[in-house]
């Protein structure tokens, strides 16, 4: 499979998975509280801001997933956006790691939170570079 095809597949995979966050936008609050407790994070805060942040972040993830799906439709035409998605995810991974540690989240949270965007970002940039090399060889 060509680098271009792998890049489209990677963006579609990431887009599809992050669009699943729409479920958390509409899930009952009791489910949020159960997930929070199951993750070992204690009782879900009663303050309205906690629910707002959980739902709005989930909505943002879904929005991001949609952007990945749009970019995957034509990775050459959307090349600047694809580059941005790769770089931004690497930066985001570093920010998430710092925030997770500073917030005192368990090690398993940071281990599951930061590496995926770093790997997806690096994969996007590597595949995009592979496309450039191939087009220069023609």
Q: What residues make up the domain containing 82? A: 3-133
pLDDT tens digits along 24-65: 999 999 999 999 999 888 999 999 999 999 999 999 999 999
Q: Is residue 138 part of a domain?
A: no
For the chain, how many structural domains are there in total?
Answer: 1
Confidence class for position 137, pLDDT limits 50, 70, 90: low
* Cα 14-16-19 angle, rounded to 5 deg: 105
> Is pLDDT of 11 > 70?
yes
Q: Is residue 75 part of a domain?
A: yes
What is the overall mean pLDDT for the chain?
94
Model pLDDT, residue 97: 97
Q: Is residue 108 part of a domain?
A: yes
Sign, CA torsion 127/133/137/138: positive
Q: Is residue 39 part of a domain?
A: yes
């Amino acid at each position: 499979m060509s680098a271009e095809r792998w890049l489209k597949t990677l963006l579609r995979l990431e887009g599809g998975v992050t669009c699943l966050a729409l479920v958390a936008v509409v899930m009952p609050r009791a489910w949020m509280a159960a997930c929070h407790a199951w993750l070992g994070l204690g009782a879900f805060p009663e303050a309205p801001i906690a629910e707002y942040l959980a739902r709005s972040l989930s909505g943002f993830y879904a929005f991001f997933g949609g952007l990945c799906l749009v970019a995957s439709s034509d990775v050459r035409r959307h090349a600047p956006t694809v580059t941005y998605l790769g770089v931004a995810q690497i930066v985001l991974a570093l920010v998430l790691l710092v925030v997770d540690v500073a917030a005192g989240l368990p090690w398993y949270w940071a281990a599951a939170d930061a590496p995926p965007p770093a790997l997806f970002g690096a994969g996007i940039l590597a595949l995009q570079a592979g496309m450039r090399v191939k087009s220069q060889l023609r």
